Amino acid sequence: MSKEEIAQNIFKNGFNCAQAVLTTYCSKYNLDENIAKKLSCGFGAGCARRSLTCGAVSGAYMVIGLKYGKVKQEDEGARDLTYKKINDFSDYFISINNSINCKELLGIDLATTEGQTFFNENDLLNQKCTNYVKDACIILDKMEL
Taking only the tens place, the pLDDT of each residue in 21-35 is 999 999 999 999 999
For residue 63, what pLDDT is reported?
98
Instruction: Please say whether the beta carbons of 46 and 102 come within 8 A.
Output: yes
For residue 32, what pLDDT is reported?
98
| Spatial distance between the Cα atoms of 29 and 24, rounded to a whole number of angstroms | 10
For residue 71, what pLDDT is reported?
96
For residue 110, what pLDDT is reported?
97
pLDDT tens-digit readout, 34-52: 999 999 999 999 999 999 9
Instruction: Please say whether the beta carbons of 50 and 108 come within 8 A.
Output: no
Cα dihedral value 107, 113, 117, 123, nearest 10: 50
For residue 133, what pLDDT is reported?
98
For residue 94, what pLDDT is reported?
98
For residue 96, what pLDDT is reported?
98
pLDDT < 70 stretches in the chain: none
| Spatial distance between the Cα atoms of 92 and 88, rounded to a whole number of angstroms | 6
Which residue type occupies 141? Answer: D
| Domain segments of the chain as ranges | 3-142
Instruction: Please say whether the beta carbons of 26 and 15 come within 8 A.
Output: no
